[in-house]
Structure 1
Amino acid sequence: MGTTQLESVPEPKYWHLKTVLSDALDSEFAVGEILPNERELAARFGVARATLRQALEQLELEGRLQRRRGVGTTVAPPRMGVAVADAEHAWPGTAADAWQPVDSTEEAPPAALARLLGTEPGQVVHVVRRARKTRGQPVAAELLYVPADSVPGLAPLDAPAGPSRARAVLRELQQLRLEGQERAVELGSARADDAKQLDRLPGAPVLLVTTRYFADGRTAAVAVATYRADTCRLTFGESDGAGVRLLAG
């Protein structure tokens, strides 16, 4: 990497530095290569480390860089496509579903989720944890909140824990006639448990995809899927019948 004069540039220094670094990533670095440390980069470009960190954080958000525990900052691989939505009238856990069940517990959802579900604050619901990988890499983690009255036939002692219990909740949920879905996407920060599953640092940028499933004129379940925002891009519209699609890597 060469040096550049930033003092006379009218745009923010970190933004111009981001552009310079991005060009260097294309011409001088290979996928997976580790960047020099912050002290060396800041000295080379004649900027404060705070300015450098802003530029690196922006490149990470755009999916150009990855920060990994015990490794450092590396050049990110190209993005891979992952569909956000199943068919419009399909419950989680159907044959075409790419998610893998991890566990199922019974706990009270956060207040915002309780409002979406129409349950009383503090009321316990089933929480199904699922994970998704692409090419062996974790790309998303999901929490599916299911009120007890949506799965009335679920035996309390049937598959008490683990993936078997999660599959049992999903099978029972599929007995309802799905009337529709409502989906919202927003930018967020990875919580500690999500970050661990996604191999990211806590607080890393993520995309939160919240899906409400409707049956019998009410909200039957709510899923909150956390996708790695550093390697994701969204496209909207019909694509092979999948509707909204998320590209992740």
Structure 2
Amino acid sequence: MADVLRQQITAGRFDAGRLSRRFGASRNAVREALGLLRDEGLVSRQPGVGTVVTTPKYGHGLDRLAGLAETLTGCGTVVNEVRVVEAVAELPAAIAERLEVAPGAGGVHLERLRWLGGLPLSLDTSYLTADVGAAVVAGDLTGRDVFALIEERTGCPLERAEVAVHAVAADANTAALLQIPCGAAVFAIERRTRVRGGRAVDVESIRIRADRMILRTTVPRGPVSG
């Protein structure tokens, strides 16, 4: 029962008032399932209201290169709180390696806190090559995705990105910014984006509240690779 309800919540179809009738389950079974979901922080009990979803979850597909605001079209207004915008004369060695440039080539460092529905959603840290970064920071960093700004202000279409997703425990600073307990699980997305022709122009490290976001993709089955 808990597994079924969890799937309903993540699909945005939770209706606590009709659980027993919908699933043909006893009240005790529903009560036990809801207890498990409360322990997971997915639902809460509110006096006079009943059981409600604690925080709505939003879907973010991984099968298409898209910015967060683009992905969340129709879910509300995404607001970017710009925390850091700086030109960097010497890139950190690890960042320069990922951008496939020399550290002395410099670049632009951005940090933005994403808000949706009045709550923080993600903390995005980006490093861009010097030329692309200069074009991007001249645009609307508060209201636009970096991807859209790269394409619009440089005229270079994005081609692809290499993406790695894993789970980490939020450190004290990240937890404070995202308004979650220190040590809470967050999605960590590491992404390197390339424009047409294969040039790397943007590397990002994104921390997303796992209680607010679901990462989805469609995966075809094909021949086993050697």
Fold match (TM-score > 0.5): yes
Between 1 and 2, higher relative CO (CA 8 Å, sep ≥ 6) is seen in 1
The answer as to whether partners of 1:63 and 1:229 remain within 8 angstroms in 2 is: no
Query: Computing the radius of gyration over CA atoms, which structure comes out larger, 1 or 2?
Result: 1
Write 1 or 2 for the structure with the bigger share of strand.
Answer: 2
The answer as to whether partners of 1:101 and 1:163 remain within 8 angstroms in 2 is: yes
The correspondence for 1:136, drawn from 93, 112, 118, is 118
How far apart are the structure 1 equivalents of 2:61 and 2:36?
A: 37
For 1:157-172, what aligned pairs fall within 5 Å after superposition? Answer: 163=141
Query: What residue ranges of structure 2 are gaps of 5+ in the alignment?
Result: 1-30, 45-50, 220-226
SS in 1 for 2:158: coil
SS in 1 for 2:175: helix
The correspondence for 2:191, drawn from 211, 235, 238, is 211
- 1:227 CA displacement: 1.0
Q: TM-score, structure 1 length as denominator?
A: 0.51
Amino acid at match of 1:226: R
For 1:59-78, what aligned pairs fall within 5 Å after superposition? Answer: 62-64=40-42, 77-78=53-54
Q: How many residues align?
A: 173
The answer as to whether partners of 1:143 and 1:223 remain within 8 angstroms in 2 is: yes
- 1:192 CA displacement: 3.4
The answer as to whether partners of 1:141 and 1:225 remain within 8 angstroms in 2 is: yes
The answer as to whether partners of 1:90 and 1:178 remain within 8 angstroms in 2 is: no
Shift of the 122–227 alpha-carbon distance from structure 1 to 2, 3 Å rule, reads farther
Aligned residue number for residue 209 of structure 2:
228
Shift of the 230–86 alpha-carbon distance from structure 1 to 2, 3 Å rule, reads closer
The answer as to whether partners of 1:109 and 1:124 remain within 8 angstroms in 2 is: yes
How far apart are the structure 2 equivalents of 1:116 and 1:27?
A: 45
Identify which range, 226-235 or 178-187, moves more after superposition: 226-235
Shift of the 63–27 alpha-carbon distance from structure 1 to 2, 3 Å rule, reads closer
Measured against aligned partners, the alpha-carbon deviations of 1:96-137 in whole angstroms (never above 9, x if no partner) come to: 776433332234665443322223347642122223333322
Residue 195 in 1 paired to residue 170 in 2? no
Aligned-pair Cα RMSD in Å:
4.3
